[in-house]
Amino acid sequence: MMSEVSSRGRRWPAEWEPHRATWLSWPHNAETWPGRLEVVEEASCEMVRAIAPGECVEIQVNDVGTADRARKLLRGAGVETLERARFRGVPTNDAWVRDYGGVFVFEENGRGGERRVLLDFEFDAWGGKYPPWERDAAVAEQMAQILRMPREGIDLVLEGGSIDGDGEGTILTTQSCLLNPNRARAGVDRSRGRLEAPLEEAFGVRRVWWLGDGIVGDDTDGHVDDLTRFVAPGRVVTSVESDPQDVNHAVLVENRERLEEMVDAAGRRLEVVELPMPPAIYGPEGRLPASYANFYFANAALLVPVFDVDQDHVALEILSSVVSDRPVIPIPAQNFVLGLGAVDCLTHQEPVLIPSGT
């Protein structure tokens, strides 16, 4: 069931709705994964192998050499649907396309139908943490050019991983990220009250709900795709930490309590399913933001990050029980997370516009 559209005739489809393609940026930044880039590429092949049976995979590369290397690796990994992988010469600084890629919305076209519009928010590498980011900030515009699609530039710093939607008018986000002063711009009020209106306008939503803080090690200042995710209208999974001594315990308890008070745009109280956290995983600079909530809905599968720990099978069983329309495929993410992200961070859905009446 689809929600009513906004006054602009706009709707942001949920991640589980049908895609034309998934966009990736092939990993190439050795500073993000020191000494681990090759194994990160291997894990990227596993993602493509899971995604390609159900949709195209648009892979952004800096140059022809990177495209040739990626093709060779994908063939070696047994990707049988390589004809669905399209390599695009779109240079990037890093691989986190979820955050800098354009966000696709559906909008009434004035002729009784709909069109797709690409929203291009400002990107500044999570509050200016990782220069340079000029190439990443230019990606959304290039996506629109490749697809010959209308683009709407929005004068607001916003990363794709900071929001999650149900496709029916409700968005989840966090105060720690969206209200963070490091995303501020002169003349732009980033208070909660002032941000909700532009979010509602851009995405065609009627309800914006706020969680609190993110997990330790998350350099994005608390992206929601490591915390709580919609898995269906009216239903979310949320990360919980059972060990009261763990530094993430109190933060996740508070977020869990906030969810109990939430009613979505359709008037439903959210059904909340708890998802365990993996045990603490550490990198050279401290604890890493490992989370099973950083999964990705592809057409043919739900891709779930796993970390080679006992909790993996528990998380996979829970997600299999709540997502029944596609197989759940584990993706080795213990090397991804060394770069402080995982599966959802590295993917970006391009929804397909299905004509009404079909």
Dihedral in degrees, nearest 10, Cα atoms 224, 228, 230, 233: -110
345 is catalytic: yes
Alpha-carbon gap, residue 83 to 47, rounded angstroms: 15
DSSP string, 60-121: EESSHHHHHHHHHHHHHTT-TTGGGEEEEE---SSS-HHHHSPEEEEEE-SSSSEEEEEEEE
| Dist. CA 57–CA 21, nearest whole Å | 5
d(CA 136, CA 71): 22
Separation of alpha carbons 266 and 124, rounded Å: 34
304's tokens? 């779930």
Instruction: Say which of 45, 56, 177, 345 is annotated catalytic.
Output: 345
Which element (helix H / strand E) includes 195? helix 192-203
DSSP-based helix, strand, coil % in the chain, nearest 5: 30, 25, 45
d(CA 341, CA 40): 12
58, 24 in Cβ contact below 8 A? yes
**What are the Cα distances from residue 257, in Å, to 4, 174, 240, 299?**
28, 14, 11, 32
Amino acid, res. 279: P
φ/ψ of residue 170, rounded to 5: -125, 135
CA distance 353 to 263: 28
Residues tagged active-site: 345
